[in-house]
């Protein structure tokens, strides 16, 4: 047992910095808060004192003195699937936890209509300090995000990115990697099958995340497991009924179907089709996003594995990152990295 002594070096305050730099408290304050009226040389002296003393503003005190809550708004899909619904629930939880430092509003938007999303961003009230939005890649959306950034409103993208825009951070997973992960798992799990066709169902390849997952999946299957035939994607718009029809058609057309990858939501439909034909547990089915439904299907071995992004983590991370950005605090990249989670029956949370 080796202990570091109980020496309390007393944390440096702004007053210490001012004294050390040989300026008044007011000047030190002006310098550190970026207010005008400080010469460059003075500013440098103060910054030197800051580093010399290792000064870090007391966040709680600063928050209290500012006496003003930050205002965030989250733009989320209007017609939410179960993943988006749980994301929204987590955002609400986060809003409660974060008060009073930040007040979080939620606004709904048809994020799949780029114009609607762009309009929502363009007409964003100036009262908001920051925006988290489920984005899409579209020139007008990009322009709207850039305008917000230009006027000083910080923007993060959530779940779905707009990488060419001026958003300063993306909260979400690497979707091509998620697709590759699905591919590797499919190949590994099919080790026993000599060959055979694999079906792929997506919401829509017009959605960037679905397209990217599809790309990653195909990449791995083609290069590592070429003995399997990956069938063309069927687009079911995350709709259980349409997915059911797609799955039923797949099963009928390919009696030797060995694998099934659903890139999007609407897993109930697929489950129904599999059960109907009595081929549940005979097809290696990989799905995305842990929900009550996928959890149940995982437990009864109908789904082999679920690839998930933790909605709670995403909601909290987005809020944390915005808070840090608005208050000049550092961001811990390790904490904010959204992992690609793999769930089996055995490591379910």
Distance of closest approach, residue 191 Cβ to its own copies, in angstroms:
4
Measured from the CB atom, is 126 or 249 closer to DNA? 126
Note the residues at the interface with its own copies (CB under 8 A).
1-4, 6, 8, 11, 56, 58-61, 63-64, 69, 90, 93, 97, 99-101, 103, 105-109, 116, 119-120, 123, 125, 127, 177-178, 180-181, 183-185, 188-193, 216, 220, 304, 310, 312-313, 316, 330, 332, 334-335, 337, 339-342, 344-347, 349
Query: Residue 154 forms beta bridges with which residues?
Result: 130
The helix-helix angle for 25-32 and 14-21 (nearest 10°) equals: 110
Of the candidate spans 28-36, 180-188, 289-297, 303-311, the one that interacts with DNA by CB under 7 A turns out to be 28-36
Q: By CB under 7 A, is residue 127 in contact with DNA?
A: no
Q: Under rule CB under 7 A, how many of the chain's residues touch DNA?
A: 32
Q: How far apart, in Å, are the Cα atoms of 291 and each of 102, 125, 184, 294, 310?
A: 29, 34, 22, 5, 11
38 binds, among its own copies, DNA, none (CB under 5 to 8 A by kind): DNA
Candidate residues 5, 6, 9, 37; the one interacting with DNA per rule CB under 7 A: 37
Measured from the CB atom, is 57 or 106 closer to DNA? 57
Site for DNA in 187-216 (CB under 7 A): none
Distance of closest approach, residue 101 Cβ to DNA, in angstroms:
11
Distance of closest approach, residue 37 Cβ to its own copies, in angstroms:
28
Q: Which two tokens stand for residue 90?
A: 């987590």
Q: Which two tokens stand for residue 16?
A: 């210490």
User: Helices (DSSP H) in the chain: which residue ranges?
Assistant: 14-21, 25-32, 40-53, 59-66, 82-98, 114-122, 139-150, 175-189, 208-224, 240-253, 267-276, 292-299, 311-327, 333-336
Place of tokens 């079911």: 236
By the 8 A CB rule, do 314 and 337 touch?
no
Distance from C-alpha of 58 to C-alpha of 30, rounded to nearest angstrom: 16
Distance of closest approach, residue 17 Cβ to its own copies, in angstroms:
15
146 binds, among DNA, its own copies, none (CB under 5 to 8 A by kind): none
Distance from C-alpha of 38 to C-alpha of 54, rounded to nearest angstrom: 21
Distance of closest approach, residue 230 Cβ to its own copies, in angstroms:
16
Q: How far apart, in Å, are the Cα atoms of 335 and each of 134, 289, 320?
A: 20, 21, 10
What is the bridge-based pairing of β-strands 154-158 and 169-171?
parallel
Q: By CB under 7 A, is residue 54 in contact with DNA?
A: no
Which positions touch DNA (CB under 7 A)? 11, 13-15, 22-27, 29-30, 32-33, 35-39, 41-43, 55, 57-58, 61-62, 64-68
């Amino acid at each position: 047992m080796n202990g570091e002594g109980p020496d309390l070096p007393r944390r440096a305050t702004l007053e210490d910095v001012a004294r050390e730099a040989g300026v008044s408290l007011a000047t030190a304050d002006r310098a550190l808060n970026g207010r005008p009226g400080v010469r460059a040389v003075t500013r440098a002296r103060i910054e030197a004192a800051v580093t010399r003393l290792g000064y870090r503003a007391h966040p709680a005190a600063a928050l209290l003195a500012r006496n003003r809550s930050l205002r965030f708004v989250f733009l989320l899909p209007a017609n939410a699937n179960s993943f988006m619904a749980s994301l929204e629930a987590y955002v609400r939880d986060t809003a409660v936890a974060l008060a009073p430092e930040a007040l979080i509003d939620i606004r709904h938007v048809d994020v799949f209509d780029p114009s609607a999303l762009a309009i929502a961003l363009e007409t964003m009230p100036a009262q908001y300090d920051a925006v988290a939005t489920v984005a899409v890649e579209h020139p007008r959306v990009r322009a709207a995000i850039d305008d917000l950034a230009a006027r000083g409103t910080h923007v993060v993208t959530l779940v779905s990115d707009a990488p060419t825009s001026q958003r300063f951070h993306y909260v979400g997973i690497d979707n091509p990697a998620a697709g590759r992960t699905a591919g590797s798992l499919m190949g590994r799990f099919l080790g026993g099958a000599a060959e055979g066709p694999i079906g792929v169902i997506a919401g829509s390849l017009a959605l960037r995340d679905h397209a990217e997952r599809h790309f990653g999946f195909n990449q791995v299957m083609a290069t590592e497991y070429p003995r399997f035939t990956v069938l063309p994607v069927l687009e079911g718009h995350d709709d259980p009924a349409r997915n059911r029809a797609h799955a039923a058609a797949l099963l009928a057309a390919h009696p030797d179907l060995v694998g099934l990858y659903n890139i999007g939501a609407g897993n109930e439909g697929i489950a129904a089709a599999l059960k109907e034909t009595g081929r549940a547990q005979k097809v290696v089915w990989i799905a995305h996003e842990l929900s009550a439904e996928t959890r149940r299907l995982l437990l009864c071995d109908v789904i082999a594995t679920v690839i998930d992004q933790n909605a709670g983590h995403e909601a909290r991370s987005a809020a944390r990152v915005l808070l840090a950005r608005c208050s000049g605090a550092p961001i811990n990249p390790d904490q904010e990295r959204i992992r690609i989670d793999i769930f089996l029956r055995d490591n379910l949370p």
